[in-house]
Structure 1
Amino acid sequence: MASDVALEYTLYHTDGCHLCELAKALVEAAGVDFNHIDICDQPALAERYGISIPVFAHGERELFWPFDAAQLHDFLGV
């Protein structure tokens, strides 16, 4: 996991979400350190992202599903 908050990426997901598993595989394939946050653990996140997960975020920037490897690389700036 990333230790520098400035470089911290987060994948918002929930257990049992097959689209979240696809997003996780894309992010892992990109070689990015990221946090996993289950939106069901925090009511505010569940309200915000409930029907939008998976969401990959960096600071205020958010990449909503569906996204592919090319879109992820653009988001990452690589």
Structure 2
Amino acid sequence: MALALYQRDDCHLCDAALAVLAEAGVPAFESVWIDGDAALEARYGTRVPVLRDEDSGLELAWPFDALAVRALLGST
């Protein structure tokens, strides 16, 4: 499973999402910064933070909790 957290600079919700990922015990993920990328801003701009399983395409848009993250981890 390849997880990516789509986020923005200076985003307090993104900071909260990082805490949720730690609580859920997510082993590894890639941080993807959408700022300055027109395509990513169009896709995720109003939804960040978004946790995405790059392999399956499943996404969790904020707000999510540790239970939802664990469910995503177990769904693939």
TM over 0.5: yes
Moved over 2 A (4+): none
1:8 aligns with 2:2: yes
- The corresponding residue for 2:65 is 68
Q: Secondary structure at the residue paired with 2:35?
A: helix
Encode CA deviations 1:22-68: one digit per residue, 9 max, x unaligned: 11121133132000011113210011000000000002110111011
Structure 2, unmatched stretches of 5+, are: none
TM-score (norm 2): 0.86
* Residue identity in the other structure for 2:60: L
| TM-align CA RMSD | 1.4
Q: May I ask how many residue pairs the two structures share in their alignment?
A: 72
Structure 1, unmatched stretches of 5+, are: 1-6
TM-score (norm 1): 0.84
* Residue identity in the other structure for 1:11: L
Q: What fraction of aligned residue pairs are identical, expressed as a percent?
A: 38
